[in-house]
Amino acid sequence: MKQRRTRESGAPPVATMDARAFTLLSLTVLCAIVAHAAHLPVWYIAPLAAIIVARWWRRRRRRGRVSGWSRAAMLLATALAVFAKYQTPFGPDPGAAIVCGLLVLKLLESETVRDARMAVGFSCFTLMTVLLFDQALVMTLVVGLMLLPALATLRALEPGLPESGWLAAFRPGSALLLASLPLTLLGFLLIPRLATPLWGSPNQGMARSGISDRMAPGDLHSLLNDNSVAMRVGFDGEPPAADQRYFRGMVLWRFDGREWTPGFAARRPGPDAPLAQRGDLVRYQVTLLPSHQHWLFALDVPIAAPRDAQLGPDRTLLASKPVDQTLRYNVTSAVDYRLHPDRLPPGLRRWALELPAGYDPRARALAKDWRAKAGNDDAAVIRDALTLFHTGGFVYALDVPPLGRNSIDDFLFNTRTGFCEHYASAFTFLMRAAGIPARVVVGYQGGYWNNVAHYLLVRQSNAHAWTEVWLQGRGWVRIDPTAVVSTIEMADAGGDNGAPIGGSIGGWWLPWQNRMDIINRWWSQSIINFDALSQSHLFRPFGVNRTDAQTLGIALAIVMFLGLGIGALLASLKPREKPRDALAAAQLRLQKRLARAGVVRGHAEGPGDYYERSARAMPSAAPMLRALSTEYLLLRYAHSEPPPERVRDFVRQVRRLRPSRVL
Amino acid sequence: MAAVVDRGRSTLARGQRLLLTFARGRKPEALPIRLDRRRIYIVPTRAGLGYALLLLVMLAGALNYQNNSALLLTCMLGATLASSMLLTWRELHDLTLRSVHAEHGFCGQRLPLHLAFADDHRSRHGLSIEVDGLEQPCPLVQGPGRAVVSITADQRGWIDLPRMRISSTAPFGLFRTWSWITPAQQVLVYPRVLADVQAPARNDDPNERAAGGDEFASLRDYHAGDPIRHVAWKASARHDHLLVREFDRATPGQPLRFDWNALSGIDRETRISRLTGWVCDAYTAAHPWILILEDRSSFGPANDDAHYHRCLTALAELP
C-alpha cells in the first residue's frame, strides 16, 4: 500500500486513481451523459459516449492524461457542434450540451484523486440539469439511481476497499442513500421555496407545449400524435357523458385566409357574455400540467373564475400568469346553457361574420347556394353543411396533403382529407359565408376515464377544434363538424377517440396503466406542485395557519440536528456479540452474572482460571462453579462436537446458579 | 485570489494548532485506550467543502427554476453526503487500543510498533495512523485488529511512545475524523550501530595476547578509538596518516571480548555504539562473545538470542 505524505512534509498528496476507481468514474460520467439523451440530439450524445468508452479503454493500458492537443480539439468540436445546432450558447438546450461536453473533457484529464472528486461533483450537477427538462417520476427515479455510481466512485477513491467484488464499492453509498431518505424528505418539505426567482424567468426559452393561440392547417398535427398528459379532471359526482366532454380553451374569431387567431374580439373589454344557465352544474377539479401558456381549460362554460384566474369575454379562463408548474384549480361549469341568447351585439356580429376578401370563392358560392335554398332557416344551412361532411367523401386522417392558397376551397373540393382543425375551419368559414355568426373554439375533447381512481385523463392528443354558431334565441351553440365524418383512415388516430396510450384500447396491462397513471398524478400533485403556497400550509394540521420562511428555516435546522443526533445514536450502537453456539451463550451468560457479582473476566484470563478466581471470591457457590468450570472445559475441549444433552444440562445448571457477592 | 486562499490556509493551520492545545489525548494514558465521542474530532475536508459549495449551487438552481425534482435530487445527495459524516465518525468510535508491542530496533532506524485493537466485529477500512510525521494506512478488517506502524527512534534506552493520530476519511473522503492517543508505555531502543571499526580480533587481554600471538593480516586506516598498540608505526611513517594492523578473526570456540575499558579516546556514546556494532557483528557471525561494561559487569560468553538481547539491553540502558 502506498504511503501518503502528510501535511507536515510539504506538498499536498498527489495520489492517482486506481483502475477500479477510474472505471467507476467513467460509468458515472457515462450515466450523466446518457441521461441527457432524451433531449439532446443523438449525433451529439453518441460521440460523447464513445469518447468516454475510448478513454476508459486507453487508460486500462496506459495511465496518463489525454494530450492537451486532443482536449483542445474536443473543446473546439463541442463549441462548433453547439453553435451549429443552436446558434447560441444561451438557453437550456445549448447549456445542457455544453455541460455534457465539458464533463467529458474533465474525464479526459482526470488522473488524480482530486480530479476524480471534481468530476464526480460535476457529474452530479449534470444529472441535476436533466431534471430541468423532465420532472416526471420515472426520470427522477432514474437520475436518483444514477447517483449510486457517483457515490461508489467516491468510495473507491478512498483507501481500504477490499480488492475483489464491485458491489463492495456500491454498498456504502446505496445503504447511506436509503438511510438518508427520511432526511431527504424532511429537507424537501422544509427548505423554504422562493416566491420569486432569483434570476431569469424560470422557464425562459423552454419549449411551449400544448395548444397554441393560433390555428393554421396542420398546426395541431404534432399535438395529436403527442400522448403526454395534458390534464387530469376529477368530478364531484358523475362525470358528464362521453360526448359532452368538451373543454373549451380559447375562442378564435379572426380568419386571415390561412390561420385562425383570437383577434380583437377575444380581447374586448366589457361585461361577460350574458349567460342563462339551466339544469345541473358540474363541479370538478382540474390538474393542468405546465403548458407555459395563460389559458386554462374548463368544461363548456364556467360559472366563475378560480383563484388567480379570470373569466374572459367569451367565458374562457385566463390564468394571471403562465402555467409554468402543474396547476390545480376548481371550477363549476354549466353544461346546459344559453350564451348571448337574445341579442348579439352588432360589433360582435360583425366580427363573427368577417371573412377575408379574395379567398375561397367556391366555398362562398356554395354557402350562398345553401342560404338561397334555406331562406331564413339557419338550422337548414347547418344541416346542409353537416350532410356535406358526412356523405361528401370526407376522410378523417392525420396525414394531410398540403393545401393551396385557397385552403378552404382546396380542402372542401380537392383533398377532402383532414382532421378536426380542417373541419372546424371549413365549417366556420361556410357558416360565416352563409351569414350565420360563427367562431372556432380550441380545447380538449374526450379523455380517458380511469375507472380505478375515478378521474378523466386528458392527453395532448385529445386536443380538438370545433365550431360555435350563434342562433337566434339559443345563443352560441356548439357544433362539432369532425364528429359527423364517417370515414376514419387510421387505426390509431390518437386524436378524438379517447384511447389511453398509443390509441390502443383494452389489453391486460390496462389496470397497470391506470395504476401507473395514479402514481404519476400523485407525483405531479404532491411533489412537482409543492410550492411556496403549499409550504405555507404545511403546519396547518398542527394549528399553524401560515408558515413563513423563517419558521421553515428554524424547523429545518432543528430537523437536521435531530437527524444528526439520531444518526449518531444509531451509529454508536455496538454490533451485538453473537455467541457461536448454545455452550458459548451459556458461558457468556454465566460470565455476565459473575461480572454483576463483581468478578470480571480479564482479557487474558482463561476460563479455568477465571472460574477458580470466582469460586474463591464467592465460597457459597464455589463447588457449583468448580463443577461448571470442569464441565465447560470438558465440553469445549474434549469433544469436537459436544453432546447436546450434556450441553442442555450445562445450560440448566448455569440458569440455576445464583452467584452472590461475598467479598 | 491566491493570497486570500493562502491566508485562509494559514488561518486554518493556526486554528488547528490552537485546537490541538485543547485536544484530548495529549497526555500519556494507560492502556487500553478507548476512543469515545469526547475525544473524536471531525471536520470536513477540502473536498467536503467543495461538495458543500456544489450542493449550494444545485440548491440555488433548483429553487430558482422552481423545479422540485431537481430539489429532491439535491436533498438526496446532500442528505447522503452529510450522513457520510456519521460513517466517518464511526470509523473511530469505540475503537479500543488494547496493547502496543514494539519490535527491537536500533537508534536511528524506524522502530515497528504492533498495535492490537479490541475485536468489536466491525471493519474499519479507512484507518490511518500518523506518527512522527508519517501517515501510515492501517485498515482493520473484521476480527481482532492488528496494525503495524513505525516510529523513528533517535535516542537509545527507554523512550516514551510518541503521540499518534488515528484518522480516517472513509467512506467518501468528505470528512476527516481523528483522535490523538499517547499510550503511557515505554519501548526500548537499542543504541546506534557503528560499524566503522572491525571488532577486535579474539580478545585484547594483554595477558592472553602474550600467550597467543596474533596472526597479522593486513593494514587499514586508523579510526579514533583503535588501541594505540595496534598502530603500525613503521608502515604509518611511509604514509601521511596512521595505519593500524588488522588481525585474523579468532578461531572458533575462543570468545571475542568486547571491553568497555579497552576503548579509549572517544566519547561515551561512540563507545556504546561501537560496542553495539561489535555485538551485532558477532551475533550475525554466530561467534561467541563476552561484553564487559564500564562497571566491570560482564556478560557471556555466549552467542544465542538471549545473550544478544541481554547485551544490547544493557548497552541501551547505560546511563
- Positions of A marked catalytic: 420, 464, 480
pLDDT, greater one: A463 or B296: A463
Q: For B44-79, how does the pLDDT look when each residue is reduced to its tens digit (9 = 90+)?
A: 999 999 999 999 999 999 998 888 999 999 999 999
Burial class (CB in 10 A: 0-12, 13-18, 19+), A29: buried
Chain segment A142-176, per-residue pLDDT in tens: 999 999 999 999 999 987 777 667 787 888 889 99
CA distance B40 to chain A (A): 12
Interface membership of B133 toward A (CB under 8 Å): yes
DSSP letter at A320? S
For residues A470 and A555, state if they share a domain.
no
- Among B187, B219, B244, residue at a domain's last position: B187
Q: Are residues B20 and B163 in the same domain?
A: yes
Which of A470, A497, A524 is the endpoint of a domain?
A: A497
Instruction: Report yes or no: B284 at the A interface, CB cutoff 8 Å.
Output: no
Boundary residue ending a domain (B128, B153, B187) = B187
Of A139, A158, A194, the CB nearest to B63: A194
Which pLDDT band holds residue A6 (cuts at 50, 70, 90)?
very low
Cβ atoms of A466 and A386 within 8 Å: the answer is no
Shared domain for A366 and A419, answered yes or no, is: yes
B63 vs A64: CA distance, rounded Å:
39
- Shared domain for B150 and B121, answered yes or no, is yes
Element (H, E) at A395: strand A395-396
Closest by Cβ to A121, choosing from B54, B74, B136: B54
Q: Which of A128, A136, A198 lies nearest to residue B70, judging by beta carbons?
A: A128
Residue A661 has pLDDT above 70, yes or no: no
Is A504 inside a domain boundary? no
- In a domain? residue B262: yes
Residues A169 and A275 in one domain: no
* Cα–Cα distance for residue pair B116/B118, rounded to 1 Å: 7
Residues 66-95, chain A, touching B (beta carbon < 8 A): none
Mapped onto helix, strand or coil, the DSSP state of residue A235 is strand
Q: What is the DSSP string of B21-51?
A: HH-TT-S-BPSSEE--GGG-EEEE-HHHHHH
* Per-residue pLDDT at A650 exceeds 70: yes
How far is it, in rounded angstroms, from Cα A397 to Cα A489?
Answer: 5
**E-only strand ranges, B94-209:** 96-102, 110-117, 128-131, 134-137, 145-152, 157-160, 164-168, 175-181, 186-189
Verify that A560 and A596 share a domain, yes or no: no
Nearest Cα of chain B lies from the Cα of A160 at a distance, in angstroms, of 5
* Contact of A466 with A445, CB cutoff 8 Å: yes
CB-based contact A122:A96 (threshold 8 Å):
no
Residue B149 in any domain: the answer is yes
For residue A101, the model assigns a pLDDT of: 95
Q: Tell whether A337 and A290 lie within a shared domain.
A: yes
Spatial strand order in the sheet of B145-152? B33-34, B96-102, B110-117, B145-152
What residues have CB less than 8 Å from B24, skipping those under 6 apart?
A: B38, B39, B179, B180
Q: Residues B256, B291: contact at Cβ < 8 Å? A: no
CA nearest neighbour of A130 among A252, A267, A35: A35
Show which of residues 82-111 on chain B sit within 8 Å of chain A, judged by CB atoms.
82-87, 89-90, 93-94, 98
pLDDT in tens, A186-230: 999 999 888 777 776 544 434 445 677 777 766 777 777 777 788
Q: What is d(CA A29, CA A32) in angstroms, rounded to the nearest whole number?
A: 5
B45, B65, B96: best to mutate for the A interface, most A CBs within 10 A: B65
The cell numbers describing A15, all together, are 495520489
CB interface of B with A, residues 232-271, below 8 Å: none
Asked whether A436 and A378 are in contact (CB, 8 A), the reply is yes
Higher-pLDDT residue of B140 and A431 is A431
Please check whether residue A576 lies inside any domain of the structure. Answer: no
Mean pLDDT value across residues A460-479: 88
Domain assignment of residue B71, yes or no: yes
- Cβ distance A159 to B128 less than 8 Å, yes or no, reads yes
- The whole-number pLDDT of residue A315 equals 85
In a domain, B42, yes or no: yes
For Cα atoms B73, B75, B81, give the angle at the middle one, nearest 5 degrees: 105
Q: Is A540 among the domain residues?
A: yes
In chain A, residues with a C-beta closer than 8 Å to the C-beta of B71 are 188, 191
C-alpha cell at A615: 469460586
Q: Is residue B122 part of a domain?
A: yes
The percent of residues above 70 in pLDDT, for chain B, comes to 83
pLDDT of the residue at A84: 92
B147 inside 8 A of chain A by CB:
no
φ, ψ for residue A186, nearest 5 deg:
-65, -45
Cβ atoms of residues A561 and A554 within 8 Å: no
Residues B153 and B254 in one domain: no
Return d(Cα A464, Cα A445) in angstroms, integer: 6
Distance from C-alpha of A160 to C-alpha of B137, rounded to nearest angstrom? 8
Question: Rounded distance, CA A68 to CA A55, Å?
Answer: 14
Inform me whether the C-beta atom of residue A152 falls under 8 Å from chain B C-beta atoms: no
Measured CA to CA, the distance from residue A54 to residue A47 in angstroms comes to 10
* B255 shares its domain with B221: yes
Is B72's CB within 8 Å of A184's CB?
yes
Which triple of cell numbers denotes residue A564?
Answer: 444528526
Let me know if residue B3 belongs to a domain.
no
Per the CB < 8 Å rule, is A3 touching B130? no
Of B187, B217, B235, which residue constitutes the final position of a domain? B187
A179 in contact with chain B, both atoms CB, cutoff 8 A: yes
Give CA angle at A417 (A412, A419), nearest 5°.
105
Same domain assignment for residues B174 and B293: no
To the nearest whole number, what is the mean pLDDT of chain A? 83
In this structure, are B28 and B108 located in the same domain?
A: yes
Within a domain: A84? yes
* Interchain contact, B50 vs A118, CB within 8 Å: yes
Is the Cβ–Cβ distance between A635 and A650 less than 8 Å?
yes
Q: Is A32 on the interface with B (CB under 8 A)?
A: no
**pLDDT higher than 80, residue A275:** no
Residues in A closer than 8 angstroms to B36, CB to CB, are none
Grid cell 379562463 is found at A317
Which of A2, A25, A124 would best serve as a mutation to test chain B binding (most B beta carbons within 10 A)?
A: A124
Q: Does A271 touch chain B (CB under 8 A)?
A: no
Asked if A236 and A290 sit in the same domain, the reply is yes
Nearest CB to A528: which of B69, B89, B135? B69
Residue where one domain finishes, among candidates A179, A205, A231 = A179
- Work out the minimum CA distance from A602 to partner chain B, whole angstroms: 12
Reduced to 3 states, what is the DSSP secondary structure of residue B136?
strand
Same domain, A36 and A90: yes
Q: Which three cell numbers stand for residue B224?
A: 579514533
Does residue B211 share a domain with residue B183?
no
Q: Do B113 and B223 belong to one domain?
A: no
Q: Mark whether A115 and A150 lie in a shared domain.
A: yes
* Reported pTM: 0.66
Provide the 10 A C-beta neighbour count for residue B138: 19
Query: Which of A124, A149, A179 lies at the terminal end of a domain, its last residue?
Result: A179
Q: What is the span of the domain harbouring residue B160?
A: 12-187
Cβ contact A577–B121 (<8 Å): yes
pLDDT value of residue A209: 54
- Out of B75, B83, B94, name the one closest to residue A188 (CB): B75
Q: Which of B220, B164, B143, B178 is nearest to B40 (CA)?
A: B178
* Residue B152 shares a structural domain with residue B225: no
Q: Which residues does chain A have within 8 Å of residue B130's beta carbon, measured at their own beta carbons?
A: 6
Mark which residues 323-352 of A lie under 8 Å from B by CB: 324-325
The Cα–Cα gap between B150 and A213 comes to: 79
Q: Chain-centre distance of CA B60, in angstroms?
A: 50
- Ranges under pLDDT 50 in chain B: 203-213, 250
- Residues B36 and B144 placed together within one structural domain of the fold: yes
pLDDT surpassing 90 at residue A26 = yes
Cβ neighbours of A125 in B, within 8 Å: 54, 57-58
Q: Say whether both A112 and A242 belong to one domain.
A: no
| Residues B109 and B22 placed together within one structural domain of the fold | yes
CA–CA dist A295, A266 (Å, integer)? 12
Q: Which of B290, B277, B318, B282 is nearest to B205 (CA)?
A: B290
CA gap A523, A521 in Å, rounded: 5
A189 assigned to some structural domain = no
Q: What is the per-residue pLDDT across A501-548, written as a single tens digit (0 to 9) for each?
A: 334 445 666 677 777 878 887 887 788 878 777 888 888 888 777 778
Q: Compare CB distances from B171 to A158, A560, A574 and report the shortest one's residue.
A: A158
Query: According to the model, what pLDDT value does residue B283 have?
Result: 86
Instruction: Tell me which residue of A588, A658, A592 sits closest to A625, measured CA to CA.
Output: A658
Same-domain status, A446 and A466: yes
CA distances from A281 to A237, A577, B265 (A): 11, 70, 120
A185 inside domain = no
- Does any domain span residue A184? no
Structural domain of A398:
221-497
- Claim to verify: residue B224 and residue B174 sit in the same structural domain: no
Same domain, A592 and A553: no
B238 falls within a domain: yes
C-beta atoms of B37 and A572 within 8 A? yes
| Nearest CB partner across the interface for B137, out of A1, A135, A177 | A1
Q: What is the three-state SS of A106-148?
A: HHHCCCEHHHHHHHHHHHHHHHHHHHCCCCCHHHHHHHHHCHH
Count of positions (residues) in chain A: 663
From chain B, the residues in CB contact with A136 under 8 A are: 69
Inter-residue contact B145 to B117 (CB < 8 Å): yes
Q: B80 touching A, CB under 8 A?
A: yes
Domain assignment of residue A201, yes or no = no
Read off the amino acid at residue A502: G
- Compute chain B's Rg from CA coordinates: 30
Tell which A residues from 509 to 528 touch B, by Cβ distance under 8 Å. 527-528
Same domain, A492 and A540: no
| Chain segment A220-255, per-residue pLDDT in tens | 777 777 777 888 898 888 888 888 889 998 889 989
List helix spans (H) across chain B.
2-22, 46-64, 68-92, 206-212, 233-237, 268-284, 305-316
Residue of B nearest to A565 (CA): B86
Q: Is A561 on the interface with B (CB under 8 A)?
A: no
The C-alpha of B169 sits at a distance from chain A's nearest C-alpha, in angstroms, of 7
The answer to whether A18 and A116 have CB atoms below 8 angstroms apart is no
Counting Cα atoms < 13 Å in the Cβ hemisphere of A625 gives 24
Residue B37: HSE in the Cβ half-sphere, 13 Å Cα cutoff: 8
List beta partners, residue B110. B152
| DSSP 3-state percent helix, strand, coil across chain A (nearest 5) | 50, 15, 35
Q: What is the count of structural domains for chain A?
A: 4
- pLDDT tens column, A284-296: 999 888 888 888 8
Residue B169: what residue type? T
**Chain B contacts of A129, Cβ < 8 Å?**
61, 70
Helix (H) or strand (E) holding A495: helix A494-497
pLDDT in tens, A407-430: 889 899 988 888 888 899 999 999
What average pLDDT score do residues A98-119 get?
94
Question: Chain B closest CA to A178's CA: distance in Å?
Answer: 8
Question: Are A352 and A260 within 8 A, CB to CB?
Answer: no
Domain assignment present for residue B239? The answer is yes
Interface of A with B in 100-139 (CB under 8 A): 113-114, 117-118, 121, 124-125, 127-129, 131-132, 135-136, 139
Question: In sequence order, which ranges of B174-291 are alpha helices (DSSP H)?
Answer: 206-212, 233-237, 268-284
Residues 6+ apart with CB under 8 A from B262: B200, B204, B227
For chain B, the domain total comes to 2
Give, to the nearest 10 degrees, the angle between helix A378-391 and helix A420-433: 150
Q: Is the pLDDT of residue A341 over 60?
A: yes
